[in-house]
Chains A and B, each alone.
Chain A
């Protein structure tokens, strides 16, 4: 029997995680992590419903329940990071930061300090232990595998982590929740970035960043095609919402943040849109760096297919990756995660 603190968000996945741990005979405590949210007019506590759901499941399972307040840490490490990245013209991934900085650092530390031996979450991923070394492995349900968001976890954190859902499929988790009569059994999965909420990323950013209108320029002809309302709102490869109508569809193929210009093209085969080489920075390896020349697989976005790749150059600070096939819209700021079979080696941020 292990003393496990399970992060309960009020969703079905973490509910079933807690239930499974309880069934396995562990000493389980549910913890709701209070992360930073925006106060919206007319709504007293937007997160109160999720907290109540988490608490209700804890009551149903007969386990103790606590609330950990991580608002300050979350705002600094996740929200401010995201805003800064957008300001720099990149498209960040706040979920990756949330896992690295909050769930598997601040929460882990707080739980251990409170008497836990291990933590657990509702992520679809697995921990494998080989000769005393903990590794991050993909989930059995390939369609739900969330290791993409978890690649910045440390080996030490993994050694203290349980992913109870790693061997289950989503339908099995729903079934389990229904069979146990959990209050969250039919609750919809959350979508998008939680703290942005219902306003959408653009409206959210507009409150923190003073965006100015600028030109949409055809990359080939250098002709001004129209106006955009702020280069930070545009993402590489984006087609819609450019405000340039008529004829062939345009795609974003570059941004000049200093000049506030968004470059577009109608050329579907644009060299910037399709690349088979990329550079990563801010590297993180779970069990040590991968080897140059060996064939690995890389994933460019959540649930995207794995692409065969080889490392052509690697150092402490960065690496260069050669893909077997060209990939569309490799986006600065996004994470590229490198897999060695079903094991996550780690990865970095696209430069």
Chain B
């Protein structure tokens, strides 16, 4: 029995061409990019070229791209970086953000923006929550559990209006929008079209190396660095560059963005097929997340009165690797924040399954997986 991996939202395999692009930088091109000899200057050039490639896909200036050691660090730099400069002000985060955002946000004056049952930001509630003390709003581009895509442009427009009103009131505080785009690597990442000031990317989710990330920092936005030292990455992220990682992330993003439309079609067809097959056999299922604006790679399902953890194990026995939203099924206190925020009933939240598809997923895998999932649910 072939095993079928349906947890691409958790980790992706390194693309072969990404590995190939990285390899020289572990050995013959090992030099410190800050060194003065020509061989090192060549490495510096390669890092800057990688930065420019990332900037290209973001529609940003290369100087606005900061390489980090992963999305958690990017998020930490964005939120801590702003809030340390405005410690008495307030940060708003969407209630369904990843723990990296929520835990960081909770260190400061903060409030969580509620979502609608489909996971979309509640615009009316959000407008009322914005105060003249708000300096940062963090809204994930696409949710990692249920896949709902936020309308960042609309949120940015609301912030633009809030900024205008502040000017009229002679309030000098800035108001920034950060988005965690870790799961959105095949969507449009153009920062000016999205209207964001800070954007996080995650190499590990896009067939790049783990522990690599990017933070886009709009020109003029001042961040307090998390740690200081050699002054690399415009002083925001000291430490010798992870050259192979920078090259790997840029290469991975190139592949994702170049083929992003085909990728979306590929994922959409497979996800629809998976959804259709499972729903046909098991009609009592609830599909979570927005039906209109949802990542094509994610299918999040709930069954009443099923133990999601047990289902996962049954699937594992049948060679299907997936994930559940409810992290700690038997502990009533720690159900998924996302499922809580979308108002999912406890008995449904316990019986949740997240299937996330990826570039290597094939139609025959989807056929086999749906058969095995249907069987497992019936046995659960």
Residues of A within 8 A of B (CB): 32, 34, 44-45, 48, 51-52, 55-56, 58-60, 65, 67
Q: Which residues of B contact A55 (CB under 8 A)?
A: 307, 309-310, 313
Which residues from B are CB-within-8-Å of A34?
330
B328, CB-defined interface residue at 8 Å: yes
| B316-338 near A? 1/0 per residue, CB < 8 Å | 11000000000110110010000
Task: Among A44, A45, A59, point to the contact of B313 (Cβ < 8 A).
Answer: A59
Interface centre among A34, A55, A59, A65 (most CB of B within 10 A): A59
Q: Beyond A52-B309, A55-B309, is A32–B314 a contact (Cβ under 8 Å)?
A: no
What residues of A have a CB within 8 angstroms of the CB of B330 in the complex? 32, 34, 51, 67
| CA–CA, A58 and B310, complex, Å | 9
B-side contacts of A45, CB under 8 Å: 328, 331, 334
Looking at chain B's contact residues, is the secondary structure mostly helix, strand, loop, or mixed?
helix
Q: Which of B124-172 contact A (CB under 8 A)?
A: none
Chain B: minimal CB distance from A161 (Å): 25
Q: Which 4 residue pairs are nearest across A and B when measured between Cβ atoms?
A: A59-B313, A67-B330, A45-B328, A56-B313
* Given contact pairs A59-B317, A60-B317, A44 touches B310 in the complex (Cβ within 8 A): no
Check B317–A44 contact: CB distance below 8 A.
no
23 of the cross-chain contacts (CB-CB < 8 Å) are A32-B330, A44-B327, A44-B328, A44-B334, A45-B328, A45-B331, A45-B334, A48-B327, A48-B328, A51-B330, A52-B309, A55-B307, A55-B310, A55-B313, A56-B313, A56-B316, A59-B313, A59-B314, A59-B317, A60-B317, A65-B307, A65-B310, A67-B330
B377 CB to closest chain A CB (Å) equals: 13
Tell me, in angstroms, the Cα distance from A52 to B309 when the chains sit together: 8
Measuring CB to CB, which residues of chain B are less than 8 angstroms from any residue of chain A?
A: 307, 309-310, 313-314, 316-317, 327-328, 330-331, 334
A residues less than 8 Å from B316 (CB atoms): 56
CB distance from B375 to the nearest CB of A (A): 13
Hey, which chain B residues are within 8 Å of A56, CB to CB?
Answer: 313, 316
Check B331–A48 contact: CB distance below 8 A: yes
| Least CB separation from A58: chain B residue | B310
Chain B neighbourhood of A51, CB < 8 A: 330
**B380 nearest in chain A by CB position:** A59
Bound: A215/B243 CA distance, A: 60
| Chain A nearest Cβ from B332, distance in angstroms | 9
Q: Determine the chain A residues whose CB is within 8 A of the CB of B310 once the complex forms.
A: 55, 58-59, 65
Across chains A and B, the number of contacting residue pairs, with CB separation under 8 Å, is 30
Task: Report Cα–Cα, A60/B379, bound state, in Å.
Answer: 12
B-side contacts of A59, CB under 8 Å: 310, 313-314, 317
The residue on A at minimum CB distance from B330 is: A67
| Complex contacts, B314 vs chain A, CB 8 Å | 59
B149 to chain A, nearest CB (A): 28
CA distance A48 to B335 in the complex (A): 13
A334, chain B: closest CB distance, angstroms = 34
A60-B313 Cα distance, complex, nearest whole Å: 8
Other A-B contacts than A45-B328, A56-B316, 20 sampled, CB-CB below 8 A, are A32-B330, A34-B330, A44-B327, A44-B334, A45-B334, A48-B327, A52-B309, A55-B307, A55-B309, A55-B310, A55-B313, A56-B313, A58-B310, A59-B310, A59-B314, A59-B317, A60-B317, A65-B307, A65-B310, A67-B330
> What's the minimum C-beta distance from B205 to chain A, rounded to whole angstroms?
23
Give the residues in chain B near A44, CB-CB below 8 Å: 327-328, 334
A44 to B326, CA, bound (A): 13
For residue B288, give the distance in angstroms from its CB to the closest CB of chain A. 22
**Bound CA–CA A111/B317 (angstroms):** 28
Q: Residues of B contacting A58 with CB < 8 Å?
A: 310
A32–B328 CA distance with the chains assembled, in angstroms: 14
Query: What is the minimal beta-carbon distance from B34 to any residue of chain A, in angstroms?
Result: 35
CA distance A56 to B314 in the complex (A): 8
Complex Cα distance, B317 from A34, in Å, reads: 25
Closest to B99 in A: A44
Give CA–CA (A67, B309) in the complex, Å. 13
Question: How near does chain A come to B169, taking the closest CB pair, in angstroms?
Answer: 42
Question: Hey, which chain A residues are within 8 Å of B328, CB to CB?
Answer: 44-45, 48
- Inter-chain CA distance A59–B311, complex, in Å, is 9
Chain A residues with Cβ below 8 Å from B309 are 52, 55
Nearest to A51 among chain B residues (CB) is: B330
User: Smallest CB–CB gap between A35 and chain B, Å?
Assistant: 12
In the complex, the chain B residue whose C-beta lies closest to that of A56 is B313
CB-defined contacts of B327 to chain A, threshold 8 Å: 44, 48
CB-nearest residue of chain B to A64 = B310
A304 to B9, CA, bound (A): 53
- Please name the residue on chain B nearest to A34 by beta carbon: B330
A34 to B331, CA, bound (A): 10
Q: How far in angstroms is the closest Cβ of chain B from A127?
A: 30
> Closest approach, in angstroms, between the C-beta of B236 and any C-beta of chain A?
26
Which residues of B lie under 8 Å from residue A48 when comparing CB positions?
A: 327-328, 331
Minimum CB–CB distance for A68 against chain B, Å: 10
Least CB separation from B379: chain A residue = A62
Chain A residues with CB under 8 A of B334: 44-45
The closest CB in chain B to the CB of A67 belongs to B330
Which of A32, A52, A65 has most chain B Cβ within 10 Å? A52
With A and B bound together, what is the CA distance between A32 and B314 in angstroms? 18
Cα(A45)–Cα(B331), bound, Å: 8
With both beta carbons as reference points, the residue of chain A lying nearest to B313 in the complex is identified as: A59
CB distance from B309 to the nearest CB of A (A): 6
A59 to B307, CA, bound (A): 12
